[in-house]
Amino acid sequence: MSFQKNATSIFQTMSQMLELTGGDRFRVSAHAKASRVIKELTIDIEPLASAGDLKALVAIDGIGKGTASKLVELAQNGTITEYEELATKVPSGVMKVLSIQGLGPKSVKLMWDEKGVESIDDLKKIIEDGSILELPRMGAKTVENISASIEFLESSGKRLPIGIAQSIADRYLSLLKDTKGTIKVAYAGSLRRGKDTIGDVDILIASDDPEAAREAFVESPGVTAVLARGETKCSIRAAIGDSSNRWGADQNSAVQIDLRVVSESSWGAALLYFSGSKEHGVRLRERAIKMGMTLNEYGLFEDDGSDPTPPQTRGVDPVACETEESIYRALKMPFIPPTLREDRGEMSLEESVRVIELADIKAELHSHTIASDGKMTIEESAAIAKSRGFHTLAVTDHSQSSAVAGGLKPDRLREHILAVRKVDQKTDGISILAGSEVDILVDGTLDYDDELLHELDVVVASPHAGLRAKPKQATKRLLKAIEHPMVHVIGHPTGRLIERRPGLEPDMNELIAAAIEHNVALEINSHWMRLDLRDTHVRAAVEAGALISINCDDHHPSDYDNLKFGVMTGQRGWLTPELCINTWDANKLHGWLKSKR
């Protein structure tokens, strides 16, 4: 485990242990925030921590003196004294109980204090003997849900890649749209914010016939358990079923789906509240309070705080509630797109940010055909790209070292270049460029010689092997590829596969600086199992002014549909259209490509 991943985990665990032991809520929050900040850093802080450079650590936005001191201690001693002290107070099994969905620190602490629950097995015992019912707020239905959550955790419990979660959400949206009485239906939560993994799926519905919506939801095909069926909330577990599985998703696992039944009049407030993030919502509510108002899932209300009763139950009319835009406007803020709602600076915006949108993309620069491991001919891929309004398609089949992917030896590549040019000549309405996804070898050299690279219109240089290298080695390797004069794009720079392979951990700030110097674009690979660059890397690149390329890495016709995930990742990184080469018109894009020849 890398230093930063270890630090991220330790600070998050410390936050949880502090809460379990009754620690000060500000310290609980501070450690949780430190965990988030460290996780999102794009630089390698281990050298700074190892050198005890507190000044440099504190200069990093979000890291205070206390956090910096603990990072130094972790780097130099391999642990943090406070963490070890807390760990002696909280049995490791209690932390595992905390991982059960639906159980928060207060409930876990109560079980621990009152019933001696120090493991999931201990929890199972008090469920079996019924003594759990002696605890406050532990009714039969709650205990039934806890049992179901334990079963779910032990059978799967993993976060889903966004592509699978999206297909499930779409399935339920389609079902509910066709249900009697439906006025509006939408998904919310981390899926709407475009996070690369999803814990559960949140769906909102406004309906003239709420009971019809509830019935359609809980009785839908694939439901393995009904966890709750109330007036305003229903929860189910549903089998993933026949979602896209070309990349090895576990089709035997299940996902929790929550349906919230809301009033059409408070639709905007509910959508804002249930979309999150938690951190963004907290900041919005703080802003509302400072303005003498209260914000909740029912609306934004004038409220001086003197009456603890929720304003909507007192007959107070909302200032805004029907749309998200009206709420932001009443809070004297520009509209914040869902993908930006992560408390990463968006609260300071004075006007809306024009982030990239799906309609801005006019070119695909990373695609594969039957010449290597793709499932489409050149003509078939070009037809799809043209139908989407693209002016350019680059055919970039694998290079020779990717033998398992049918990589092309030099002679085959030259034949393939001719084949691409032939199709381009006879195809109207789109330019088809001859390129290659060229392996970046472990020493940083490229998989073809310079003479052959010069014949290509587009070179996407990507790492495929040696993805366990240490950060310094990975940085050196990728820098060498960026510095190569014929490279246009660095494809999926870390090589990660979400929830399956962490990939390389280079110093992204060094790569970004080199990419700017050498006029190279860094890729957001849109496949939902990659999304590499990830959002925090994109944000660092955008702030520095680096070029970004959003590509689908098409192998199959359906891969073109993954573009939305790449765009959402770009949005989460505050990517503007002008920095994305796929948005440029044909003249500008082709001129840039030729500038490296």
Topology at the third CATH level for domain 3-90: DNA polymerase; domain 1 (1.10.150)
Architecture of domain 160-261: 2-Layer Sandwich (3.30)
CA 329 from chain centre, in angstroms, equals: 27
Report CA-CA distances (Å) from 126 to 261, 285, 391, 526, 567: 34, 39, 64, 46, 48
**Radius of gyration over every alpha carbon of the chain, rounded to an integer in angstroms:** 26
For residues 532 and 464, what is the distance between their CA atoms, to the nearest angstrom? 13
Q: Dihedral (C-alpha) 23, 26, 29, 30: value to the nearest 10 degrees?
A: -110
Topology at the third CATH level for domain 98-152: DNA polymerase; domain 1 (1.10.150)
3-90 and 98-152 share one fold: yes
Domain 268-348 maps to which CATH number in 3.30.210.10, 3.30.413.10, 3.30.70.260, 3.20.20.80?
3.30.210.10
Domain residue spans in the chain? 3-90, 98-152, 160-261, 268-348, 358-594
| Cross-strand partners of 300 | 295, 320
Per-residue pLDDT of the chain (597 residues; tens, 9 = 90+): 589 889 999 999 999 999 999 888 889 989 999 999 998 888 889 999 999 999 999 999 889 999 999 999 999 999 999 999 998 999 889 998 988 877 888 899 999 999 999 999 999 999 999 999 999 888 888 888 888 788 777 765 578 999 999 999 999 999 999 999 999 999 999 999 999 999 999 999 999 999 999 999 999 998 988 988 999 999 999 988 654 444 444 545 788 999 999 999 999 999 999 999 999 999 999 999 999 999 999 999 998 878 888 888 888 999 999 999 999 999 999 999 999 999 999 999 999 999 999 999 999 999 999 999 999 999 999 999 999 999 999 999 999 999 989 999 999 999 999 999 999 999 999 999 999 999 999 999 999 999 999 999 999 999 999 998 999 999 999 999 999 999 999 999 999 999 888 899 999 999 999 999 999 999 999 999 999 999 999 999 999 999 999 999 999 999 999 999 999 999 999 999 999 999 999 999 999 999 998
| Cross-strand partners of 396 | 435
For residues 582 and 553, what is the distance between their CA atoms, to the nearest angstrom? 13
Which element (helix H / strand E) includes 105? helix 105-115
Closest CA to 268 of 170, 186, 371, 172: 186
Helix-strand-coil split of the chain, %, nearest 5: 50, 15, 35
Q: Token match 């930063």: residue?
A: 4
For residues 287 and 320, what is the distance between their CA atoms, to the nearest angstrom? 15
pLDDT at 252 (0 to 100):
54
Q: What CATH number has the domain spanning 358-594?
A: 3.20.20.140
